[in-house]
Structure 1
Amino acid sequence: MSGLTLFVVNPISGDNDKSSITKTIKSWSQSSGESIEIWETSGKNDKENLEQKIKEIAPAKVVAVGGDGTVLLCASILMNSKVPLGILPMGSANGMSAELHIPQNIKDALDVVHRGYSRKSDMLLFNDKDLGMHISDIGLNAGLVKQFEEGPRRGFLGYAKGIVGELSDLNPFKIKIETDTDTRETKGYMVAFGNAKRYGTGALLNNVGKINDGLLELSILNYFDITAIAGHFFDIINDESEHMKTIQCKKATIYTDRKVPFQIDGELQPDTNQVKVEVLPDCISFVVPQSRVL
């Protein structure tokens, strides 16, 4: 794949020094013979400015240098185009790169950018306006994200404090689920919307999801049990799991009896008691390792 490669760098994602990464990218371009341009996000009108940049230079590839938020920014612009998206995982959450088996080492990830293949992936559309690509949810996990974002302390200790705060006030909520095939009611602590199998932490959410199957997975946490939840970190789940149920569908609307926390790919949204979601099939292309078959 020839032509210009545009690297979109988020200078504040994760804890990595992006100046050294930029130097590595420039050095790699000389050795690989790839023509590149580097563009940094600023946190102000990034989508509009990046969209204009892509129109101006018409790159053959775009590479997101950051976490899931940076990847989603690029994907929201490139969707339904012929321009594939590569990833250099440099954020605090790198769930999509892990799902695509992108190496965490920057030099190996750059080799994927240079030699990898383009493969289609689905995306998710929430409430007819917000895009997602990886895993989003309402309830327990979104509450942890909220505790972390709103708390004064960041890092591991801040996250641990958020867990303690969230679990101490843990109560199930009533859930009504309307999909394109049926309607059901239950109680639970979380509903996750998956276009993938794993959270960025490595925890297994379901064992059936594929990012290019034209389906989304609704995973409902019906019972809270520490031992059962821990099984997700060790891949000990199956289709008969009593605490987590997974439904595959093309679209769904979820209603809850009270407003609960909501996050899309790690980005906190306003608390809500209704979420509409649908799958957008094969609308984005990713650059993946040659050995990776999606």
Structure 2
Amino acid sequence: MPCTRAALIVNTGSRTGAQAFARAEQRLTALGVPLVDTFGLRDAARLPETVEAVLADGCDLVVLGGGDGTVSAVVDQLVGERAVLGVLPLGTANDFARTMGIPADVDAACEVLRSGKVVDVDLGVADGNYFVNVASLGLSVAVSRALSHDLKRRLGAAAYPIATLKAYRGYAPFRARLEFPRGDHAAIDIAEAMQVAIGNGRYYGGGNVMSPDAGIDDQSLDVYAIARGRFRDHLAIVSAFRSGRFVEHELVTHVATREVVVRTDPPRHINIDGEVVTATPEVFRVVHNGLHVAVPQASTAARLETELP
């Protein structure tokens, strides 16, 4: 994969970041990837400024080592740039890497940066905040608050169902309204919603599938709302998360759209790729071909539609 200047930025505070940093630097150098800058950051708050610095330094390949939160933290800096994003999946869920077909093994992910290809992917955006995976409100926000860093570090992917059960107990539903400014759907009202999610990619929440047909280059967002129901109904929905067929359940409303306005009563906080950054009412829209990403040659997640430098 052609590049002239590459930077390696690893979130060493991620689940396996500290151990993988030295290995990734060694492997990329051995593969002939032209590394000019390397950064091991324990403070994730420094990720955006570090990416801005390497872009200003002329890097045309930015290799990020970390989880979905690491990728999400720098999307705002990379959107619309000519630089290509490379991903070393070192987090708990690694849903973006899973969507793109990037292998979890560090050596194999490094090999992608030598022999892979570049594709364009869509992004979601809300209130100026870009996201690669999903934005959600309702129960998922309560889950994210129950999902402590320590819990993820100790239990890995098993932390998600534990946090979900903890948040589910006593959760109060809310009124939700979905409006579609482009006129592709009539407005939808959910009297007692438990959760509303707006997905850009295929995977979220540690391997759950947004819908059977969800993709990251389909120029649309998958929107679903889960209504209040019996516990056994919600268990049935959860059991179908991995296939995406939960959208067929009678308590689930699902549409695909390029733009949606979500209103709730009372107002609800919105979690965007793992961070609570805004609240309802909010407008969500898709940004087509917002990001260049390095993927394996065999990946079918997306294709290159814009010109590289």
Query: Same fold by TM-score, threshold 0.5 exceeded?
Result: yes
Judged with a 3 Å threshold, the aligned counterparts in structure 2 of structure 1 residues 176 and 100 are, in CA distance, closer, same or farther, namely same
Q: Deviation of residue 154 (structure 1)?
A: 7.2
- The yes-or-no answer on 1:246 pairing with 2:264 is no
Deviation of 1:283 (Å): 1.1
| CA-CA distance at 1:285 after TM superposition | 0.9
Query: Which residue pairs with 2:21 in the alignment?
Result: 22
Q: In structure 2, do the counterparts of structure 1 residues 75 and 269 end up closer, same or farther at CA, with 3 Å as the change threshold?
A: closer
- TM-score norm. by structure 1 comes to 0.88
Q: Is the 8 A contact 2:93 2:207 kept in 1?
A: no
Q: 2:197 — aligned with what?
A: 192
Instruction: Give the gaps of 5 or more residues in structure 1.
Output: none
For residues 85 and 158 of structure 1, the distance between their equivalents in structure 2, rounded to whole angstroms, comes to 28
What is the alpha-carbon root mean square deviation over aligned residues? 2.5
Contact 1:124 1:131 in 2 (8 A): yes
Residue 121 and residue 148 in structure 1: after superposition, are their counterparts in 2 closer, same or farther (change >3 A)?
same
The answer to whether the aligner puts 1:50 opposite 2:64 as a matched pair is no
C-alpha separation between the residues in 2 aligned to 1:55 and 1:196? 28
Question: Hey, what's the Cα distance between the residues in 2 that align with 1:177 and 1:274?
Answer: 10
Following the alignment from structure 1 to structure 2, what is the Cα–Cα distance between the partners of residues 107 and 131?
Answer: 29
Residue 226 in structure 1 maps to residue 230 in structure 2: no
Instruction: Kindly state the Cα deviation for residue 30 of structure 1 after the two structures are TM-superposed.
Output: 3.6
Distance 1:85 1:92 in 2: 19
1:161-193 Cα deviation digits (max 9, x unpaired): 643442221232111111122322123211101
**Higher deviation after alignment, 110-119 or 151-160:** 151-160
Q: Normalised by the size of structure 2, how large is the TM-score?
A: 0.84
Q: 2-side partners of 1:197 and 1:2: how far apart? A: 28
How much identity, in percent, do the aligned residues show? 21
CA contact (8 A) 1:133 1:265 kept: yes
For 1:218 and 1:268, how far apart are their aligned partners in 2? 18
Amino acid paired to 1:78: L
For residues 213-238 of structure 1, the C-alpha deviation after alignment (integer angstroms, 9 at most, x for no partner) is 11111111124423322332442617
Amino acid across the alignment from 1:231: S
C-alpha contact (below 8 Å) 1:195/1:217 kept by paired residues: yes
Which amino acid is 1:183 matched to?
A: A
The whole-number CA distance in structure 2 between the counterparts of 1:45 and 1:257 is 36
Write the mapping of 1:269-280 to structure 2, written as runs, cut at 5 A. 269=277, 272-280=279-287
Per the alignment, residue 82 of structure 1 pairs with 82
Encode CA deviations 1:59-79: one digit per residue, 9 max, x unaligned.
Answer: 121111001121123332121
Per-residue deviation, residues 71-104 of structure 1 (Å, max 9, x unmatched): 1233321211221111000012311001111100
Shift of 1:38: 1.0
Question: Mean alpha-carbon deviation: is it higher for 65-74 or for 25-34?
Answer: 25-34
User: 1: distance between equivalents of 2:129 and 2:244?
Assistant: 32
Distance 1:203-1:161 versus aligned 2 partners, 3 A rule: closer
How do 1:5-44 and structure 2 match up within 5 A? 5-14=6-15, 16-18=16-18, 20-36=19-35, 37-41=37-41, 42-44=43-45
Distance 2:101 2:149 in 1: 32
Residue pair 2:60, 2:83 contacting (<8 A) in 1 also: yes
CA–CA separation in structure 1 for the residues paired with 2:24 and 2:116: 16
- Give the 3-state SS of the residue equivalent to 1:211 in structure 2: coil
Please say if residues 146 and 261 of structure 1, whose CA atoms lie closer than 8 Å, have aligned partners that are also in contact.
no
Residue of structure 2 aligned with 1:209, choices 204, 214, 217? 214
The CA deviation at 1:244 is 1.9
Matched, 1:169 2:174: no
CA distance in 1, matches of 2:145, 2:56: 36
Partner of 1:101: 101
- 2-structure distance, mates of 1:262, 1:24: 36
